[in-house]
A and B are shown apart, each in its own frame.
Chain A
Amino acid sequence: MIHFVLLISRQGKVRLTKWYSPYTQKERTKVIRELSGLILNRGPKLCNFVEWRGYKVVYKRYASLYFCMCIDQDDNELEILEIIHHFVEILDRYFGSVCELDLIFNFHKAYYILDELLIAGELQESSKKTVARLIAAQDSLVEAAKEQASSISNMIAQATK
């Protein structure tokens, strides 16, 4: 299973963290610090796997962002690379050629997408289209609720004028 997902920028800033195994807040900070030191310092031509505390961390760099996933020793590293790419493609489709800024300002949306992709550290959906459809449906639910709220507040505002 995937124990956690990290998105770290090249400067070592955390852009997204998702923990599927219990880590205390303190451990989380430590893990992030350790791994960013380990991964950011690796050369460009090296393999995408780092052995760390008896686990393996599979990482892949997309532009300025490192996508890291921590897995068990006997998990399939190559598949994780595929999952990372799958995630990136969905983000790309959702934001329209995604960049780091999208993930900073719309970090919650990145989380929503990840939650449609992984649960309990396991892959949930292998179709990009399905994920996109589910996210769009939920976004429109939010929009509808917002419109309703604003029309109500308009009505109240007019009524109280």
Chain B
Amino acid sequence: MNPFSSGTRLRDMIRAIRACKTAAEERAVIRKECAAIRAAISEDDQEYRHRNLAKLMFIHMLGYPTHFGQMECLKLIASPGFPEKRIGYLGLMLLLDERQEVLMLVTNSIKQDLNHTNQYIVGLALCALGNICSAEMARDLAPEVERLLQFRDPNVRKKAALCTIRIIKKVPDLAENFITPAVALLKEKHHGVLLTGVQLCTDLSKVSTEALEYFKKKSIDGLVKVLRDLANSPYSPEYDISGITDPFLHIRLLKFLRVLGQGDVDASDTMNDILAQVATKTEANKNAGNAILYECVATIMSIEDNGGLRVLAVNILGRFLSSRDNNIRYVALNMLMKAITLDSQAVQRHRATILECVKDSDASIRKRALELVYLLVNENNVKSLTKELIDYLEVSDQEFKGDLTAKICSIVEKFSPEKRWYIDQMLKVLSEAGNCVKDDVWHALIVVITNAPNLHGYTVRSLYKAVQTAGEQETLIRVAVWCIGEYGDLLISNAGVLDVENPITVTEADAVDVVEAALGRYSSDLTTRAMCLIALLKLSSRFPSCSKRINDIVRHHKGSFVLELQQRAIEFNSIIEKHQKIRSALVERMPVLDEATFSGRRAGSVPAAVSTSQGDPPKIPNGVAKPTSAPLVDLLDLSSDDIAAPASSGGDFLQDLLGVDVSPVSSQGTNQTQKSGTDVLLDLLSIGTPPAQSSSSALDILSSSQDNKSSVDVLGKLAPSPSAQASTPVGNSSVMDLLGGFGTSQSVPVTNGPAFPAIVAFESSSLKVTFSFSKEPASPQTTLIEAQFMNKSPDVYSNFIFQAAVPKFLQLHLDPASSNTLPASGNGSISQKLRVSNSQHGKKSLVMRVRINYKVNDKDVLEEGQISNFPRDL
């Protein structure tokens, strides 16, 4: 025998692999075996084909590629002997799945085997078909399977029944062909056939209403009888499992009855008695009995109402819930979730037990129980349940805190009876698990706080205390910093002390300390730091005594490597130093954030853009897209969700002032005048500045779906780079310039002209080329250039061709020119559009090399040149 072709036996190969000490050794053994198998395959070795395939299956299980053996399966299946077919079909099921093209090739072999005289070969084919058949195969082979449902041997019939399930799942249209043969299976005595027959009928009812109606009419009585006989059957050793005869058949019958009884009063009535019998008589001391009871309860819950049965079912669940077996408790919790819609009172009775399950050591049980508790909460029990859950939050596992926090927040928001309670609970959650709290939760908290003027002082003092003890929770810090910025004066003055509070003495320096500490915290992220800077700016006006110190802190961040912080620091620093006059107006307290708008937006429904009445600031719904005449400037929102075109002119500087995004609407230049600084800045905590027209999608940002991370968040997830671009004003004026001009010019008209001046790109004695520029607001990298060619000579140019080349960081697209003939003496021109995308936008300017060919008086002329006088920031 050739030592290199499949020399080793399967057993020896497995031994060799198991003897390997390292992964590298194992790979070497496998490589050698695979090489030998490939060699055997290419030699078309017959004798050891089945052994090779067995080896390949083992190799496959270890996770190595074995695609080269797929055709071997087909060859084995096509061979006449049973042993070859057996291993071939096994390989087919193991190495292939239904999506592989190779599978189509096997259809014919399977068809032949389905018609084979040997019942075991028929069985192999049915098994393979049932496990991996695709829709095409299902269509092709359905008639064979249908015939086999009436095969003489019961073991083939049961395989055919399960195979049919796969077929009708793949091609539901075929279901009706199978209804009659399936019904015949329900009358069988053989348990295997009956078991699979019931399963087949259940699946048929799911895919075909015709089948469902048919079974409802014809088979309920029969099924009830089968179940009764089964439940009352004497001990039969072949099917007995812990004292119950064939629990599998029990369960399938109950499941099928559930499908039939749903929404059908008559059918439900027919099965009431037997369900009651199963529910009361089944032994519940072993898993098999509990499995039946569980299924029975599920059926009772699903079929039409019968008070007595439901009580029985809930009692069974109550017993399950107090079981010491974790599995049983798990399924009880699972089923109680369904029961709660039917009879919430009955479930409420088990509240204490369920609450205990939330604290279980088993993650699966905890998760189920938490979901159930969530459904149990109502106005009456919210306080006690929340207290329990928050108490547990302190001791729960780290990985469970996320789920638990989300649920607590949701409960508190939904059922909170009063604002102070809400704020208290949220502060507790933030202090315990602030790092797990989603953004929209603390955003909502801030909205609530602003809406409770009598609690401002209380809240800021509580937050101050909380930060002292739980200073590592990010979201707690954010809320605290925000509140100290807004209500710092109340913290110092102890205004509005509630009688439940312990008075505390906080100095102005203490308050600044908190913010400074948060700013300097190693783990603070960009949002928190940016919020800290704003809080400091506000405090600098509220606490004149600390103004100097605050300015020092702010100045310190002028050198920050984070663009966003650096920019804010520079801007705030100049406000503090140069604009004392307007500072206090600038940093006035935020207007009350409109709760209705906020919650409406969270729910995804956006009220129509509210017109702004400047005289009545508190009514301005926060962040609602405003008419373009009052462009939003918002200090907190740094993100520009639509990367706006650079401000159309220097006059728009107010929008840019504090590193704010500019919505396309306002940059289109339709606004007439800027309002006075304070008015515009009123909206310090605005929520995004989406364009007015497209409010629905952009405003959906607060919808409660928390995974909607990509959208802009309420208080502005920082998106440094776009805002940096958006806020970099056109070419010649820097931020500082703008700030310098801030005090004097408060209304600057905005022109409608192009953002970039046209340039003369190229000029020679005979030709002049001008470029004019425009941009699409959506893509600042892309510049549209319109080139105009003018003939300065007295002769007509023909065959005029303009070509351009750009360096690698640019991409150039040339549209066809308007003509290829250029009239003489400037009596007309050719225009051509170019589109340039700058991948280094903001870093490098455009540059272009051009080449112009034309014929004048039948003579070819070539002109070349380089254009480097493009405006910056294109």
Chain A residues with CB under 8 Å of chain B are 14-20, 22-25, 29, 43, 45-51, 74, 76-79, 81-83, 86, 104-105, 107-108, 111-112, 115, 119-120, 122-130, 134, 137-138, 141-142, 145-146
Contacts and interface: CB of A to CB of B under 8 A. Distances in A.
Contact of A126 (B62, B99, B246, B290): B246
Contacts, number: 163
Given A24-B97, A45-B326, A51-B367, 6 more contacts: A22-B99, A47-B330, A78-B331, A108-B57, A115-B131, A120-B162
Contacts of A24: 97, 99
Contacts of A20: 131
A51 B99 CA distance: 27
Interface string B66-108: 0000000000000001110011001001100111000000000
Interface stretch (B357-365, B626-634, B645-653): B357-365
Contact of A127 (B98, B123, B239, B290): B239
A124 B329 CA distance: 29
Given A22-B98, A126-B249, A134 B295 contact: no
Contact of B57 (A19, A46, A107, A128): A107
B48 interface: no
Ranked 10 nearest A-B pairs via Cβ: A78-B291, A47-B326, A119-B162, A119-B130, A120-B166, A46-B362, A120-B130, A126-B248, A142-B83, A79-B291
A141 B162 contact: no
Interface stretch (B188-196, B389-397, B498-506): B188-196
A50 B326 CA distance: 12
B557 interface: no
Contacts of A104: 14, 18
Contacts of B131: 18, 20, 115, 119-120
A120 B202 CA distance: 14
Nearest to B250: A79
A124 B83 contact: no
Interface in B237-292: 238-239, 241, 246-249, 251, 255, 287-288, 290-291
A134 B154 CA distance: 12
B399 to A, nearest CB: 12
27 contacts: A16-B61, A20-B131, A43-B361, A47-B364, A51-B367, A74-B298, A76-B291, A76-B298, A77-B330, A81-B287, A82-B247, A104-B18, A105-B11, A108-B87, A108-B90, A112-B86, A115-B127, A115-B131, A119-B127, A120-B130, A123-B199, A123-B248, A124-B196, A126-B191, A138-B120, A142-B86, A145-B81
Nearest to A57: B364
A123 B94 CA distance: 19
A78 B327 contact: yes
B62 A14 contact: yes
B610 to A, nearest CB: 41
A126 to B, nearest CB: 4
A14 B61 contact: yes
Contacts of A83: 248
Contacts of B290: 78
Interface in B343-373: 361-365, 367
Contacts of B191: 125-127
B281 to A, nearest CB: 18
B365 A47 contact: yes
B558 interface: no
Contact of B162 (A50, A122, A137, A146): A122
A130 B327 contact: no
A104 B290 CA distance: 34
Contacts of B330: 47, 49, 77
A61 B658 CA distance: 62
Contacts of A79: 247-248, 251, 291, 295
Contact of B155 (A112, A134, A145): A134
B195 A126 contact: yes
A97 B179 CA distance: 43
B569 interface: no
A139 to B, nearest CB: 10
Contacts of A18: 93, 131
Q: Which of A14, A15, A108 has the most CB of B within 10 A?
A: A108
A116 to B, nearest CB: 8
A143 to B, nearest CB: 9
A25 B401 CA distance: 35
A128 B131 CA distance: 21
Given A83-B248, A122-B199, A145-B81, A137 B127 contact: no
B163 interface: yes
B83 A146 contact: yes
Interface string B318-340: 00000000111111000000000
Given A22-B99, A51-B364, A119-B162, A46 B326 contact: yes
Interface string B121-132: 001001100110
A21 to B, nearest CB: 9
A76 B250 CA distance: 12
Contact of A125 (B192, B251, B287, B295): B192
Contacts of B93: 18, 115
Nearest to B242: A82
A12 B330 CA distance: 26
Contacts of A141: 82-83, 120
Contacts of A76: 251, 255, 291, 294-295, 298
A139 B363 CA distance: 44
A12 to B, nearest CB: 12
B63 A29 contact: yes
A23 to B, nearest CB: 7
A122 B82 contact: no
B529 interface: no
B82 A129 contact: no
Contacts of A111: 90, 94
A77 B61 contact: no
Interface string B108-146: 000000000000100100110011000000000000000
Nearest to B67: A25
Contacts of B362: 43, 45-47
B192 A127 contact: yes
Contacts of B94: 17, 111
Contact of B239 (A23, A78, A126): A126
Given A47-B327, A108-B54, A82 B192 contact: no
Contacts of A19: 97
Contact of B291 (A50, A82, A138, A145): A82
Interface string B737-751: 000000000000000
Given A122-B199, A138-B120, A145 B83 contact: yes
Given A78-B294, A119-B131, A142-B86, A124 B327 contact: no
B428 interface: no
A130 B86 CA distance: 19
A82 B248 contact: yes
Contacts of A46: 326, 361-365
B748 to A, nearest CB: 57
B404 interface: no
A105 B90 CA distance: 16
Interface in B1-41: 11, 14, 18
Nearest to A14: B61
A15 B62 CA distance: 9
Given A49-B364, A105-B11, A134-B155, A78 B162 contact: no
Nearest to B81: A145
A49 B364 CA distance: 7
Nearest to B91: A108
A103 to B, nearest CB: 11
Contact of B327 (A49, A108, A137, A138): A49
Which of A16, A29, A46, A77 neighbours the largest number of chain B CB atoms within 10 Å of its CB? A46
Contacts of A128: 238
Contact of B287 (A22, A50, A74, A82): A82
A79 B254 CA distance: 12
B248 A124 contact: no
A46 B71 CA distance: 45
